[in-house]
Amino acid sequence: MEIIRKTDISYDDFINNHVKTGIPLVFTNATKDWKGMKEFSLEWFKEKFGERVTDFEGTKFSMNEVIDMISKSTPDNPSPYPITFDVPHQLPELLEYIDPIDLNYAKPNWVDSELFQRGHWGYATEIFFGGRGVKFPYVHLDYYHLSAWVTMVVGQKEFTVFPRGQDEFLYPEPGDNYRSKLNIFNPDYEKYPKFKEATPIHFVLNPGETLYIPFGIWHSAHSLTPSISIAFDHLSSENTWDFIKDVYYLKKRMGKVKALFTAFYALYACFMCKIGDAFGIKRQLINERYNPKS
């Protein structure tokens, strides 16, 4: 089984054949309007943001240090991963280089609404830095059943995605149904025999290509080279009910009453967004909200 790649695809084709069906897709030229794609490189990020600092497991790293680490990474001695920067808050100047952030396909995106408070719903627009040989720690589903968009801007990553309906083959962690217990890069078939029935799809994402991962799709990745990718989450009417159920499930640790209140608020926010779409109300996009030039 191979990943589907499309260069010229209409919005309706995307919605009908990928969003509604839950089939992942690689867009080969969705970033054609991003002015940064002609400039992005490891050196460019050092020059623009070298002194910006982010946190990785309690340790602060500057962009300069991050780039140096991923440049020296090897499969035997991989750099820390995933090291990320929150684009709107830590690198707001980057937004003008990745406009339109929705790639003219990830719309409507309800998490752009002020009704959804960033940081509380799993939403983020992040830039990931990885060195050669680094692997995401585990195969996983994205929290809140949000769909994910990943664009490679520097280097290459090999992704692995699993079609929907293969949960039992991936052995979700008890108490955390969003991550797998097994190591898909070196599976123990004696301990996890059902994994033999899984049908992973492996493929390489290259600079300028964008991967759409529908909600409910297990996935993981590892870097083949020093790599930089930009990712954001997507919520619309298609994943509303799964989103609301996840809000309740993930907030139960606060107590059932608070979880119910939060889930009802999520339902209200989704309903208001759907009404807004019906009446053509435009939301302030993330680029407009955080770009210092706007």
* pLDDT for position 115: 85
State pLDDT tens for residues 29-81: 999 999 999 999 999 999 999 999 999 999 999 999 999 999 999 999 999 99
**Which uninterrupted H or E stretch holds 157?**
strand 157-162
Q: What's the CATH code of the domain at 215?
A: 2.60.120.650
The pLDDT of residue 290: 65
What is the pLDDT, as a whole number, of residue 116?
81
Q: Which two tokens stand for residue 99?
A: 């406009």
pTM recorded for the entire structure: 0.93
Q: Helix axis angle, 240-251 relative to 256-278, nearest 10°? A: 160
Q: Could you tell me where the DSSP H helices lie in 136-285?
A: 240-251, 256-278
Could you list the residue range(s) of the whole structural domain that residue 245 is in? 5-290
Question: Which residues neighbour 62 within 8 Å (Cβ) at sequence distance 6 or greater?
Answer: 50, 51, 52, 53
Give every residue of the chain whose pLDDT is below 70, as ranges: 117-123, 284-294
Give the rounded percent of residues in the chain with a pLDDT score beyond 90: 82
The 3-state DSSP composition of the chain as helix, strand, coil percent (nearest 5) reads 35, 25, 40
pLDDT at position 254 is: 79
Q: Around 155, how many Cα atoms within 13 Å sit in the side-chain half-sphere? A: 23
- Number of structural domains (the chain) is 1
Looking at residue 226, its amino acid is P
Tell me whether the omega of the peptide bond preceding residue 82 falls within 30 degrees of 0, making it cis: yes
Q: Which of 22, 118, 261, 216 lies closest to 110 in space, CA to CA?
A: 118
With contact defined as beta carbons under 8 Å apart, do 283 and 101 qualify?
no
End-to-end Cα separation, the chain, in angstroms: 44
Residue 255, SS3 per DSSP: coil
Could you give the percent of the chain with pLDDT greater than 70?
93
Residue 146 tokens, joined: 């949000």
Alpha-carbon span 159 to 211, nearest angstrom: 9
Residues 6+ apart with CB under 8 A from 58: none
Q: How high is the mean pLDDT of the chain?
A: 92
* Helix, coil or strand: residue 148: strand
| pLDDT score recorded for residue 294 | 46
Cβ contact 169:194 at 8 Å = yes
In angstroms, the Cα distances linking 247 to 29, 148, 253, 255 are: 34, 17, 11, 12
Residues in contact with 47: Cβ distance below 8 Å, sequence separation at least 6, in sequence order: none
Please name the amino acid found at residue 113: S
For residues 189-226, one letter each, b for 16 or more C-beta atoms within 10 angstroms of the residue's C-beta and e for the rest, the string is eeebeebeebebbebebebbbbbbbbbbbbbbbbbbeb
CB of 204 closer than 8 Å to CB of 256: no
Radius of gyration of the chain (CA): 19
What is residue 103's predicted lDDT score, i.e. its pLDDT?
95
CA gap 244, 179 in Å, rounded = 19
CB 112 within 8 A of CB 197: no
pLDDT for the residue 136: 82
